[in-house]
């Protein structure tokens, strides 16, 4: 569609930036915090780039005041961060840790002091290891009650000050990496049956959390954050168009339909039946999923890239570790589901050093698809560029990041002109942080942090990059000056 004059961003648009507890906090055993599945996983040789851990991360746990002050100077409207379950319940359930609750009280109050809206993610992948030991974590239905209990503790404590809640970050990623690709805890591969069961448990945890929040705070705004990669058919060959349809049902709508409609897509369900991997549901589950979906306020979208779907022969490529986690361009391999689709590179688009496709128009497509399929507002909860940054004379010049963000914001503006309701745009990330599998060399922040892979490297000093000053202007002009 073409509009001669843009409506621009709404007056109350939330210009934001984001992080996650494990990736920034450090203080991995501070003040009564319990051990998470990631604290354990990173210690298994070969699992992360150069054996990096989040033990110290970028020490946000001790430097949050300095970080928030920089946010305020930038004019940030919202800061999205996650809470470490293990700080609140060191064992996942049982006794609550007051020191952990206090840390997030302090962070939230610090943000509010400067008029920055806190946007809280309940779960960004760091599950208490104690729950893994007690009942294999997400594999057991028992986790639903513990999750809701943990979430309710957060609502009770922070609900008077936090309006925006994200129940879960990228369920599609942590489950596929954990049970299909072996790259996240618990490190299982090709376990389709458990993968779908785990997802059903996560869906129930999400749904019951939404219901609990709305009972306590009916005016709160809630949604899940989904890693959404819109997909192009490889070409006009009908079998490739069908590969796209399969990809959408199994990789996108499988999750988004649950959040927005409270039901699984029929054709994906039929495929699961044919493979004997449908999840076990209990009486009443469908009702709970539907009730929660009716109360969801937005679709959270983490947008990084689009993909391509091409028919994949029954003997074709699978899902296991095909990623480029080193930053050596051109080392990622094609992945897929035999008999359905594979995802070759898109020759029309450039890529990052980690082989992620750069496609600004994709963010507009996310918004358009969500608007026409679900008629829900959108919160862009992540979007950003992972790159190698260098300090030169005490400064960090990152024109490539500015170009990336500018192009995406321009497309987001068009999505708003197209009629999409977009509430917020959070870049990934605010400060540099630990990239789960890619160490500290893959940097995303507006604020450079002086550290490398080695735990004892660097001063952890903060240096605002050129993109920091650029985004300050974007916020000041409400997206008019890009």
Residue span binding ligand BG6 (CB under 6 A) among the ranges 143-151, 196-204, 398-406, 433-441: 433-441
Nearest to ligand BG6 of 328, 476 (CB atom): 328
413 binds ligand BG6 (CB under 6 A): no
Alpha helices, H only, 324-398: 361-374
Nearest to ligand BG6 of 310, 432 (CB atom): 432
Minimum distance, C-beta of residue 477 to ligand BG6, in the bound complex (Å): 27
436 binds ligand BG6 (CB under 6 A): yes
- Cβ–Cβ < 8 Å for 179, 152: no
442 binds ligand BG6 (CB under 6 A): yes
Nearest to ligand BG6 of 20, 207 (CB atom): 20
Nearest to ligand BG6 of 132, 432 (CB atom): 432
383 binds ligand BG6 (CB under 6 A): no
371 binds ligand BG6 (CB under 6 A): no
Of 17, 37, 357, 438, the one binding ligand BG6 (CB under 6 A) is: 438
- Cβ–Cβ < 8 Å for 382, 304: yes
Nearest to ligand BG6 of 129, 352 (CB atom): 352
170 bridge partner residues: none
Minimum distance, C-beta of residue 116 to ligand BG6, in the bound complex (Å): 20
Minimum distance, C-beta of residue 229 to ligand BG6, in the bound complex (Å): 11
Residue span binding ligand BG6 (CB under 6 A) among the ranges 87-95, 154-162, 326-334, 431-439: 431-439
150 binds ligand BG6 (CB under 6 A): no
d(C-alpha 113, C-alpha 121), whole Å: 20
Query: Which residue among 382, 411, 452, 453 is the active-site one?
Result: 382
Binding pattern for the stretch 167-206 against ligand BG6, x by CB under 6 A and - elsewhere: --xx--x---------------------------------
E strand spans, 115-234: 117-121, 164-169, 221-227, 231-233
Phi, psi of 5 (to 5 degrees): -125, 130
C-alpha dihedral sign at 197, 199, 200, 205: positive
Minimum distance, C-beta of residue 39 to ligand BG6, in the bound complex (Å): 16
Nearest to ligand BG6 of 17, 23 (CB atom): 23
- The burial of 11, by beta-carbon neighbours within 10 Å (0-12 exposed, 13-18 middle, 19 or more buried), is given as exposed
- Of the candidates 433, 426, 474, which has an alpha carbon nearest to the alpha carbon of residue 118? 426
20 binds ligand BG6 (CB under 6 A): yes
366 binds ligand BG6 (CB under 6 A): no
428 binds ligand BG6 (CB under 6 A): yes
Q: Which residues does 253 contact at the CB level (< 8 Å), separation at least 6?
A: 265, 268, 373
227 binds ligand BG6 (CB under 6 A): yes
382 carries an active-site annotation: yes
Count of residues touching ligand BG6 (by CB under 6 A): 15
d(C-alpha 2, C-alpha 28), whole Å: 50
CA 81 vs CA 60, 108, 140, 447: distances in Å: 11, 10, 27, 16
CA 96 vs CA 39, 145, 241, 391, 405: distances in Å: 20, 15, 51, 42, 40
Minimum distance, C-beta of residue 22 to ligand BG6, in the bound complex (Å): 8
Minimum distance, C-beta of residue 438 to ligand BG6, in the bound complex (Å): 5
The tokens describing 227, both together, are: 């890693």
- Cβ–Cβ < 8 Å for 169, 84: no
d(C-alpha 269, C-alpha 271), whole Å: 5
d(C-alpha 302, C-alpha 256), whole Å: 12
Positions in 22-41 near ligand BG6 (CB under 6 A):
23
- Cβ–Cβ < 8 Å for 178, 198: yes
Positions in 57-116 near ligand BG6 (CB under 6 A):
none
Nearest to ligand BG6 of 207, 387 (CB atom): 387
Nearest to ligand BG6 of 206, 442 (CB atom): 442
The tokens describing 345, both together, are: 């590179």
- List of residues contacting ligand BG6 (CB under 6 A): 20, 23, 169-170, 173, 227, 302, 382, 386, 428, 435-438, 442
Catalytic residues: 382
């Amino acid at each position: 569609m073409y509009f001669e004059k843009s409506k621009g961003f709404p007056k109350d648009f939330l210009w934001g930036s984001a992080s996650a507890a494990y990736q920034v906090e450090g203080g991995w055993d501070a003040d009564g915090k319990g051990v998470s599945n990631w604290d354990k996983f990173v210690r298994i040789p070969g699992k992360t780039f150069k054996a990096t851990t989040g033990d110290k991360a970028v020490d946000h746990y001790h430097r949050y005041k300095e970080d928030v002050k920089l946010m305020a100077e930038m004019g940030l409207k919202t800061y999205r961060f996650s809470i470490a379950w293990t700080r609140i319940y060191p064992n996942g359930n049982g006794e609550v840790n007051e020191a952990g609750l206090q840390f997030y009280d302090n962070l939230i109050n610090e943000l509010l002091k400067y008029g920055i809206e806190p946007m809280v993610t309940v779960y960004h992948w760091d599950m208490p290891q104690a729950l893994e030991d007690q009942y294999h974590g997400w594999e057991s239905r028992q986790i639903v009650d513990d999750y809701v209990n943990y979430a309710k503790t957060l609502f009770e404590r922070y609900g008077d000050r936090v309006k925006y809640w994200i129940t879960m970050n990228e369920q599609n990623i942590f489950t596929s990496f954990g049970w299909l690709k072996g790259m996240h805890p618990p490190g299982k591969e090709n376990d389709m049956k458990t993968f779908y069961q785990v997802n059903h448990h996560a869906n129930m945890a999400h749904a019951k959390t939404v219901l609990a929040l709305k009972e306590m705070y009916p005016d709160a705004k809630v949604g899940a954050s989904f890693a959404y990669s819109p997909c192009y058919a490889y070409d006009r060959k009908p079998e490739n168009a069908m590969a796209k349809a399969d990809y959408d049902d199994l990789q996108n709508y499988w999750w988004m339909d649950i959040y927005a409609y409270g039901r699984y897509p029929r054709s994906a369900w039929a495929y699961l039946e044919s493979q004997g991997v449908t999840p076990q549901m209990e009486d009443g589950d469908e009702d709970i999923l539907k009730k929660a979906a009716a109360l969801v306020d937005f679709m959270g979208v983490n947008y990084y890239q689009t993909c391509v779907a091409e028919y994949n022969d029954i003997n074709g490529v699978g899902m296991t570790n095909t990623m480029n986690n080193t930053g050596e361009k051109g080392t990622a391999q094609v992945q897929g589901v035999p008999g359905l689709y594979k995802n070759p590179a898109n020759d029309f688009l450039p890529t990052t050093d980690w082989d992620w496709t750069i496609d600004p128009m994709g963010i507009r497509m996310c918004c358009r698809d969500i608007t026409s399929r679900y008629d829900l507002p959108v919160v862009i909860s992540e979007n950003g560029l992972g790159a190698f940054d260098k300090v030169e004379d005490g400064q960090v010049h990152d024109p490539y990041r500015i170009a990336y963000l500018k192009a995406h914001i321009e497309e987001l503006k068009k999505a708003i002109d197209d009629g999409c309701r977009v509430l917020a745009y959070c870049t990934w990330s605010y400060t540099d942080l630990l990239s789960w599998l890619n160490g500290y060399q893959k940097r995303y922040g507006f604020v450079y942090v002086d550290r490398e892979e080695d735990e004892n490297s660097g001063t952890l000093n903060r240096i605002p990059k050129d993109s920091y000053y650029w985004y300050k202007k974007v916020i000041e002009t409400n997206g008019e000056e890009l």
